[in-house]
Structure 1
């Protein structure tokens, strides 16, 4: 039963993951080309920020678009060259988005109460992606896979951030600033905890799969 749920549950979850990544990426790119609204506190603050705003939205948006491609097992098996190319593009997008995000953190709504959460997210995002690429270059593919899952979990923080804001303000009708400060820390820490849990469960499942006898070796 557990094996059946694992096999068939991956497809709907994968589609939801891909749809959420694409929708948030479209929002990020749309923000770059949207009209300026002086009543929007984010727009008013970012208008005087400089290139770090478009760089962050572009890098994070591109990383979100490429994240479903990177975890697509069929592409990794059938077109490894395309998988590697997408991986390098993903790493470049994280580099741009992470550095820009680190520069933007002190300007976040809520001051350092929220900015510190984003300031910590940026280097962790960069480090996990860098380790994933380094292990791929060294040929340690299992470590590469695990670290890239952590990187993608941090990329998905852009989606989780908006879910927390939507639930906190739209459903629970809480005030913006407390919800935003909570979201600045929770959007990536929750993702990392869930990622580590899934990696642990996957490793546990693999250990429980019985090793099939090798008739060639027996002969």
Structure 2
């Protein structure tokens, strides 16, 4: 094993402090959101389902495939697994690609039935298109053995995949900003213009912030990286 690979394999999990919180947040999110849809009961949906016959099947497809996508995404981002069990990493990557494509198509359908107008529709449609595009570009790169490009595209894809988790943070924050006191007042319905404005903002913030963070992560200068000496 080359020295670089040995160094990566020897890295303990606590040297990657973000992987455990990410796994916990993902597990909590799935445990609270997924049970509403596994029974295929539209009355348990967190969003209204009376938006045409295609909406609920697409929503369930998006959520069930998305749950697999998030789980595989956590495995893909785990450096220890990638270094010590490359075969598991490859198989979880294949699972991620298939589930991301299925979930992305489901999201592309549901995006056409917005509850907060065209702003939300455009934001969610762009998210679905970019998720599909980045995932396909990442898959093509690894098939062509362009592993550095593969890593970059899949980091971007995973950042978009976790936008649904980020939305659970941005939605209440933006509602509190747009309509102070709305979270504690059940009399303010979703149809209020201010609430819809917060929903539109959340639809955009949930993936744009993730994608910006991914770009920073990919192009940051890690500590300890050797500096290139300029010739005198």
Give me the TM-score of the superposition, normalised by structure 1. 0.82
CA distance in 2, matches of 1:192, 1:173: 30
Please say if 1:168 is aligned against 2:185.
Answer: no
User: Which 4+ stretches in 1 moved above 6 angstroms?
Assistant: none
How far did 1:137 drift? Answer: 1.3
Q: Which of the pair is proportionally richer in helix?
A: 1
Aligned length: 202
1:84 aligned residue: 90
1:24 aligned residue: 29
CA distance in 1, matches of 2:78, 2:111: 32
What SS class does the counterpart of residue 51 from structure 1 fall into? helix
1:55-94 correspondence to structure 2 within 5 Å: 55-94=61-100
1:110 aligned residue: 116
Deviation per residue, 1:111-147 (Å, 9 max, x gap): 2110110001111001111111111111111111111
Change (3 A) 1:12 1:100: same
Give me the TM-score of the superposition, normalised by structure 2. 0.77
Change (3 A) 1:64 1:140: same
RMSD: 2.6
Unaligned runs of 5+ in 1: 1-6, 212-219
1:189-200 correspondence to structure 2 within 5 Å: 189-200=208-219
Change (3 A) 1:207 1:11: closer
CA distance in 2, matches of 1:87, 1:188: 21
User: Contact 2:174–2:201 at 8 Å: present in 1 too?
Assistant: no
CA distance in 1, matches of 2:125, 2:161: 14
Change (3 A) 1:53 1:135: same
